[in-house]
Amino acid sequence: MKSSSFSPSLPTQRKIGLISLGCAKNLVDAEILLGDALRHGYELTQQHDQADVLLVNTCGFIDLAKEESINAILEAHRHRLHGTKVGQKLVVGGCLAQRYSQELAKQLPEVDAFLGLDEITRAGEIFNRLFEQECSQEHRINVSQRAAYIPDFDTPRVRLTAAHTAYVKIAEGCNHPCSFCVIPRMRGRHRSRSIDSIVKEVEGLVQSGVREINLVSQDTTYFGMDQWEKKVGPRQQVDPSRGPSLIGLLDTLGHIEGNFWIRLLYTHPAHWSNELIAAIARNPKVARYIDMPLQHIDEEMLASMKRETSRQHIIDLIARLRSAIPDLILRTTFIVGFPGESEEHFKNLLDFIEETRFERLGVFAYSQEEQSRAAKLPHQIHPKTKERRLREAMLLQQQIARQWAQNQVGKELNILADTPLLGRSEGDAPEVDCRVHFLQPVTPGTFLKTKITGTRDYDLVGEVIEKL
């Protein structure tokens, strides 16, 4: 995608104040939305009281995210009421708008317009319409019933990340039947970009100084399989020599000139193959980091969650990954309090966490999402039980994480500087993982060979040896 920066403000140029919530995939949507607004003469402002349009880009994944989104919308409206900007418009976009636009339009009359996921490339046009006419109820809601859009390499985009790191969305939507999830309802079925499109985008980013490419989609390991299935049917083994695949994408990206990392986020355990593992192991530009949400390990829970994997498959896969990729950092997430989860099921999960010792791990309490299959299951778990189990799992992981951090002392690691005093290793994704504290100021956006000299809880402390 084309990265842009807004031009200097003109007397007639309107401004946008952005509040973006949720995951990296949602952030890319916000960047594309701003890119279209730029084409229509808008510019981004950090001063929300000066914005002509106040945009809340929402998340609608789980209850906590929905609550945060609603609170952000109401807070934006309160800010507008007490502000000095005359005629300021309040617009709501993102997953929550896609999922609940009709209901929100009735419950939140203070919102001037709702934008769906497919409408991000029409944002400027929709914003302009708000200032040109009074919007009817019909014009307030700009949401396609079924999301089908996917960006290309030349889609205008205003990057919101630091100059040296970027997210690249390689696909959109999801085909998985997970019973707890409604993402396929919001974002549609999986649809992959072409390898050529992604390569052109990454080449442009690297040339502009980006040092970290984070590949994202709902399931990055499913990349290309939607096109393959059109030819040979579902659930067939992908042959990378006969069609697009993540293997082919990583091999091609690895040949791009420049000093940069490729980070693989949001993988699914059902689609890993020995060929894919080998592709990562042989490519020095792919970070030794795999984000693979597992959600549970108990056989009954995996079946009830419709995870398409067994306990033994997961155990074997982790062993294969760690054996084939030296110094691998594994990040995963688990759900506790899923309907029907007994104390025995939960203990099986705790035992697995202790035995496997994931370097990075997060835990969520189950959220009963309407329209999901799991919402209708019997034996829903009491909220206090969910909270207790979440605390127990995280306390265990905190012990593991502290021990892992202490074991890094004395090692020399390649660190990417984010700020003059903070950086990240290959094993740390932006925003969600640990950091390295430098003992002396450094230049952001540079790779530094760093000796780890201590820890700060889960974070590391390091002394720079040399610039790489």
CATH no. for residue 53? 3.40.50.12160
Q: Which domain does 119 fall in, by range? A: 2-142
Residue pair 409/453 in contact by the 8 Å Cβ criterion:
yes
Instruction: Please indicate, yes or no, whether residues 177 and 242 belong to a single structural domain of this protein.
Output: yes
Residues in the chain: 468
Collapsing DSSP to helix, strand or coil, 413 comes out as strand
Last residue of a domain, one of 230, 257, 291: 291
Residue 441 lies in a domain: yes
Task: Please report, in tens digits, the pLDDT of each residue of the chain (468 residues total).
Answer: 554 433 333 335 899 999 999 999 999 999 999 999 999 999 999 999 999 999 999 998 788 888 999 999 999 999 888 887 888 999 999 999 999 988 999 999 999 999 999 999 999 999 999 988 655 556 798 999 888 999 898 899 999 999 999 999 999 999 999 999 999 988 999 999 999 999 999 999 999 999 999 999 999 999 999 887 665 555 555 554 556 899 999 999 999 999 999 999 999 999 999 999 999 999 999 999 999 999 999 999 999 999 999 999 999 999 999 999 999 999 999 999 999 999 999 999 999 999 999 999 999 999 999 889 999 999 999 999 999 999 999 999 999 999 999 999 999 999 999 999 999 999 999 999 999 999 999 999 999 999 999 999 889 999 999 998
- Examine residue 210 and state whether it is found in any structural domain, yes or no: yes
The model carries a pTM of 0.92
Q: How many domains does the chain have?
A: 3
- Buried b / exposed e along 59-70 (16+ C-beta atoms within 10 A): bbbbeebbebbb
Query: Same domain, yes or no, for 88 and 166?
Result: no
* Nearest by Cα to 26 from 120, 103, 127, 132: 120
Do 200 and 253 lie in one domain? The reply is: yes
Residue 240 near residue 216 (C-beta atoms within 8 A):
no
Residues 122 and 8 in one domain: yes
Burial class (CB in 10 A: 0-12, 13-18, 19+), 307: buried
